[in-house]
Structure 1
C-alpha cells in the first residue's frame, strides 16, 4: 500500500466526527496521552509497532488491523526499526450512530470487547487496503456526497471486521519484551488497586525497579506518566459510578481513591471537560 506523506484529512465538529490520517514515517515516533471519546481503527501497512491498549501491550506487524473502543487508553510506540506505514481512522457516535440509516449494532460488535486485533491474510489485506485508499481519496476531495460515501465505506470496513474471526489468545511472555511485560504487570496492578495510595517509590519497590526506570519506562510505553495513568484509571471508574449509581459526588470521590472532593472535581474536569455533576446529567439524557 503506497501512502503519501503525512496528510491528515478532517471534517466535522471539534470532537472530530470523522478523522482519517495516512502516514509513512522513517524516524522514531510515539503518541502520548491517547484517550478520546471516539472509536479508532488502526491499520499497519508495513513495519512493526507495539501498542499499549487497556492494561496490555500488543505487538503489531504489517497487515494487522486494530479496533479500539472510545474512552480506552491506548498508545503506539516503536519496536525495532522505526520506519512504518499506517492509516488511522477516528469516528464518533454522531457519525455512524443510532439514527443514521446505515447504523446497525452488528457494526459495533468488535468495540464491545474494548479492543480487537485482526491479523489479515494477503487477500484480506488487499481488500482492506483498497477500502482505505478509497476513504483517503474521498476525504481529501470536496464534492457532493462525500460524507455519505465515507459512511458507506466505513460501514463496509466495520462489517468486514465484525465477520472476521478474532484470535483472543493472549501473547505469551516470549512474544513480549521484558520491558513491556513489566509495564503490563504494573498497569494491571494499578487497575486493581487504584483506590489505594499509589506512590512511585512504593510501586518501584514492589516491582523491583528503580523509581527513575519506572517513571521513564512507563511513560515511554503507555504515553502517560505514572500519576496521569493512576488518575485516569480513577476517573474512568468514577464515570461508571456516576452513570450507573446514585452515589453522591463525595462518595464517588472516596470510592475511587481521591483524598478530597476538590481534587476529584479538578481532575475530573481536566480529563473529561465537564464536572462530575454535569457528566451525570448528560449521561442520563
Structure 2
C-alpha cells in the first residue's frame, strides 16, 4: 500500500483540520493555498517546500508554519516516501475574543523563516502534543473540542517562544534554480499590477522562455500566467473587502486591462463573482 492514513479530521478550509499520513511512493502537491493557517510536521523522509517565494529543505523533526493564503508546495527529495502531520485552523478557531487567545500565539507566523528545526527533546515534546491531539480527535470524549484548542494553543506558544530564542541562521535556497525562481516570484509579488509577459520576464532574468516556463511550474506548482493572475486576484480580494472602490477601478489597479477577463479569472479562482465576494466578505 503506497499511502497509510492514520487520521483525518475536519476539512482543510474548515475551522480545524488534522491529518497524519505516511506515503511510500513519490508525491507532490501543487497549486495550493487556502484561507487557514497551517502547521506541517515531518516525521520521516526528506522534502523540499516552496512557501510564498522561497524553497526550503525539510528534514524529520522540522516544524513548518504557513500563514493563510501563502502559496505552498511540497515535493520529494532523494528516496521517495515520507510521513507527516498537517494541522490547519481558521482565525475563528482561536479568535481575539476567545479566553485562550494571545497575540504571541501567532508570533511564529511573523518570523522571517517558515521552518523550525527542533532539537531532539523538543521533537519529543511536539510529538507528545500531536499524540494527544490524535487521541482526542479519534475518541471524541466529552469536551474534546475544548482540549484540542488548548493543545493547539500550547503548540503555538511553544513554537513562537522557540522561534524567538533561535539565533538567525542565513537562509540557503535548495538550489541555484530555486534561488532564481524565488527572485522572479518576489518580482511578481511586487510588480503584479504592471504589464507582465513570460518573454519579458525571461529577458529580464536572463533565461529562455521555455526553460523559465518549465522551471517555474516545477518549483511553484503554477504556470507563470497562473501565478500572475492569482497574485492579482488575491490583491483584488483585499481591496474588495477593505475599500468601497468600484470593481472596474480595482480590476485596473491590480493589473487587468479588461474587466471581462478580470471577472472570468476572479470567478475561476474564487468560485464567485467580485460582487458576490464583496457582499460575503465585507469587513
- Look up the SS of the partner of 2:58 in the other structure: strand
Matching of residue 60 in structure 1 with residue 58 in structure 2 = yes
Q: Separation in 2 of the partners of 1:177 and 1:222?
A: 14
- TM-score under structure 2 length normalisation: 0.89
1:77-226 superposed matches below 5 A: 77-113=75-111, 116-166=114-164, 168-172=168-172, 175-226=173-224
Change beyond 3 A, Cα 1:252–1:42:
same
Q: Separation in 1 of the partners of 2:86 and 2:97?
A: 25
Q: Separation in 2 of the partners of 1:131 and 1:65?
A: 13
- Look up the SS of the partner of 2:47 in the other structure: strand
Q: Deviations over 1:224-282 (max 9, x none)?
A: 12111111111122223334444321111111111111221222232233433343444
User: What's the CA shift for 1:131?
Assistant: 0.7
User: What's the CA shift for 1:283?
Assistant: 4.0
Q: Separation in 2 of the partners of 1:114 and 1:270?
A: 32
- TM-score under structure 1 length normalisation: 0.88
Q: Separation in 2 of the partners of 1:48 and 1:124?
A: 19
Q: Where does residue 6 of structure 1 map in the other structure?
A: 5
- Look up the SS of the partner of 1:266 in the other structure: helix
Preserved contact between residue 69 and residue 114 of structure 1 (Cα < 8 Å): no
Q: Separation in 2 of the partners of 1:147 and 1:21?
A: 16
Change beyond 3 A, Cα 1:284–1:143:
same
Q: Separation in 2 of the partners of 1:57 and 1:99?
A: 35
Unaligned runs of 5+ in 2: none
RMSD: 2.3
Q: Where does residue 251 of structure 2 map in the other structure?
A: 253
Q: Separation in 2 of the partners of 1:141 and 1:217?
A: 45
Change beyond 3 A, Cα 1:82–1:233:
same
Change beyond 3 A, Cα 1:275–1:111:
farther
Q: Where does residue 46 of structure 1 map in the other structure?
A: 44
- Once the two structures are overlaid, the 10-residue window that deviates more, 114-123 or 124-133, is 114-123
Q: Separation in 2 of the partners of 1:87 and 1:224?
A: 24
Q: Where does residue 262 of structure 2 map in the other structure?
A: 264
Q: Separation in 1 of the partners of 2:145 and 2:262?
A: 40
Preserved contact between residue 231 and residue 267 of structure 1 (Cα < 8 Å): yes
- Look up the SS of the partner of 1:85 in the other structure: strand
